[in-house]
Amino acid sequence: MTKIILITGTSSGLGKATARFFAYKGWSVVATMRQPEKEQQLVQLPNVLVTQLDVQDRMSTEPGGIANTKFEQRSGTEAVQNATIPDYDRFVEHTNAVFESLREVRLST
């Protein structure tokens, strides 16, 4: 049975590297990001499905929100919550809205 992994935040950095790692290990990878139309590398891998998912958008994280991925929950399925909000220039310049967004992304998904 092929193992499946769903990874959020795969447009760059650790998320993209994690998706590539599991793809090269033979897993079927569902690589999610906010703007999948911009992805050029992961879409070239045969066992990677790149799809849109914004962890800040409740509609896309609710059951059925990623139904277009043909992703089925079954034995051997894993998920990695890697998505975050890009860092801002200076910590002291964060507003309450920024802190709330960070909390929402990290704690509610």
CATH no. for 4-83: 3.40.50.720
Band the pLDDT of 67: cuts 50, 70, 90: very low
User: Radius of gyration (Cα) for the chain, nearest Å?
Assistant: 15
pTM (two decimals):
0.65
Token pair for residue 76?
A: 């051997």
Quick check: 25 pLDDT over 80? yes
Residues 28-41: what's their mean pLDDT? 91
Band the pLDDT of 68: cuts 50, 70, 90: very low
